[in-house]
Amino acid sequence: METEIKKARIEARALVPAVRIGKNGLTESAVAEIVKLLKKRRVLKIKMLNSFTDGNDRKKAAEELAEKCNAWLVEQVGGIVVLLRKPAPKPKA
C-alpha cells in the first residue's frame, strides 16, 4: 500500500483538480460525483475553495471526504486533496 500511495502522489503532480468543493461543502451530489470519477480514474485531485475552508479544518474535511468516497487519502496540501481509489475486493473462490 505504501508504494501505491507514493506512485499516486507522483501521478497527481501532473493532474489538475477535477472537482471543486465550494461554500455548499460536502453535499451528497459532490460526493456522488467524486465516487463516479473515482470509478473512471485511479487518482483524483480535488480543490477545496477558500469559501468552504473558512470555518472548517481542511485535514478533517479531507479525511471525511476519503471515508465517504471509500478511497485512500494520498495527501492534503492546503486546499488540494488527492484521493486514491481502493482496489476492489477479490472474490473468494
The predicted-structure confidence for 28-68, as pLDDT tens digits, reads as follows: 999 999 999 999 999 999 999 988 876 678 899 899 999 99
Q: Does some domain include residue 7?
A: yes
Q: Give domain status of residue 66, yes or no.
A: yes
User: Is-contact 44 83, C-beta < 8 A?
Assistant: yes
Compute the distance between CA of residue 37 and CA of residue 44 in angstroms, rounded to an integer: 8
87, with CB counted inside 10 A (0-12, 13-18, 19+), is exposed
Q: If residue 87 lies in a helix (H) or strand (E), which one and from where to where? A: none
Domain count, the chain: 1
pTM over 0.85: yes
The answer to whether the beta carbons of residues 69 and 38 sit under 8 Å apart is yes
Asked if residue 93 belongs to a domain, the reply is no
- Tell me the three cell numbers of residue 60: 478533517
